[in-house]
Amino acid sequence: MRDDKVRNLVISAICLALALVLPFLTGQIPEIGKMLSPMHIPVLLCGFICGPGWGLLVGLIAPLMRSLLFGMPVMFPNAIGMMFELACYGFAAGWLYRLLPKKPWRVYVSLIGAMILGRIVWGIARVILWGLGSSPFSWKLFIAGALTNAVPGIILHIVLIPLVVLGLERSGFIRE
C-alpha cells in the first residue's frame, strides 16, 4: 500500500513538472500554445495513471505554480480559471476511468467526459472571475475559448492521450 502512495507521488510530481515545462515548446507562438493546451496533457494523464485525487491536486497546482514562476498564464483571471478547469480535468479523468467497465472505449469516454466537464467548470469560473473584474464574460467568449479556438488541442488530446493510456495499460504500468 505504501509503495502505491510513493509511486503516485513520484508520477504526480513528474506530471506537474511536465505541466510546467511543456508550454515552453509552444511558448514562442502564444496562439499555438493556447490552441494546443499543453498543460492539460500531463494533468489528464495524472488522473488516468494515479487517480482522481492526484489528478485534481496536480490540476490545482500547475497553473498557479506556472504563473508564479514564469508569469504565464497571467494570474488573474487566466491561471485562476485554469486552476478550476485543470483540477476538474484531472479529477474527472481519473474518476470516470475507474468508474466505467474495463473496456478500451472507457479511455475515450473518460477523456471526452473530463474535457466537457472541465470546459464547463472553466466557463463557470470565468463568469465569476470576470464578474469580479470590469468586463462581462459572454456566451460568445465561452464558445471561442472552450471550443472554436481549442479545436487543435481537443484533436491532439483525443489522439495522443488514449494512445499513451492504452499503451500504459498493456504494459501493466497503470494499476487499478
With 0-12 CB in 10 A as exposed, 13-18 as middle and 19+ as buried, what is 65? middle
> In the prediction, which pLDDT does 146 show?
63
- What's residue 92's pLDDT? 98
What burial letters (b/e) apply to 131-168, b meaning 16+ CB within 10 Å? eeeeeebeeeebeebbeeebeebbebbeeebbebbeee
- For the chain, what percent of residues have pLDDT higher than 70? 90
Distant-in-sequence contacts of 21-28, Cβ < 8 A, 24+ apart? 23/66, 23/72, 27/72
Domain positions in the chain are 2-171
Of the given ranges (1-10, 53-62, 163-172), which has the lowest mean pLDDT?
1-10
Q: Is residue 23 predicted with pLDDT exceeding 70?
A: yes
Model confidence, pTM: 0.92
Overall CATH class of domain 2-171: mainly alpha
The per-residue pLDDT for range 89-148, each reduced to its tens digit, is 999 999 999 999 999 999 999 999 999 999 999 988 888 887 766 666 666 766 766 667
- For residue 96, the model assigns a pLDDT of 98
Cell of 83: 486552476
Residue 37: all three cell numbers together: 493546451
- Of 130, 110, 102, 99, the residue nearest 45 (C-alpha): 110
Grid cell 497553473 is found at 63
Return the DSSP state at 81: H
Q: How confident is the model at residue 175 (pLDDT cuts 50, 70, 90)?
A: confident
Predicted confidence at residue 167, as pLDDT, reads 97
Give the model's confidence band at 27: pLDDT under 50 very low, under 70 low, under 90 confident, else very high. Answer: confident
What is the pLDDT at residue 136?
Answer: 67
**Mean per-residue pLDDT for 68-93?**
95
Q: Using an 8 Å Cβ cutoff, are 75 and 108 in contact?
A: no
Say which residues have a Cβ less than 8 Å from residue 7's Cβ, sequence separation at least 6.
none
Q: How far apart are CA 158 and CA 152, in angstroms?
A: 10
- Interval 142-167: pLDDT, tens: 676 666 778 889 999 999 999 999 99
